[in-house]
């Protein structure tokens, strides 16, 4: 099985526990909720 490599908008690889700030609005699949641009997501996994 191949590991998935996740990168940020600058091309830097993200690791478990990293925090990211959203650069565009994202719709959450299966709900009517939208995460707004500028939201800090802590502990990215």
Single pTM value for the model: 0.63
* Per-residue model confidence as pLDDT tens digits over 1-44: 688 898 988 999 988 899 999 999 999 999 999 999 999 989 85
Q: How confident is the model at residue 45 (pLDDT cuts 50, 70, 90)?
A: low
pLDDT value for 9 = 87
Yes or no: say if 44 and 18 are a contact pair by the CB < 8 Å rule.
Answer: yes
Q: Judge contact between 26 and 12, C-beta under 8 A.
A: no
Token digits of residue 40: 């800090």
């Amino acid at each position: 099985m191949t590991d998935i490599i996740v990168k940020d908008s600058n091309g830097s690889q993200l690791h478990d526990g990293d925090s990211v700030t959203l650069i565009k609005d994202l719709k959450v699949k299966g709900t009517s909720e939208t995460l707004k641009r500028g939201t800090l997501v802590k502990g990215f996994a």
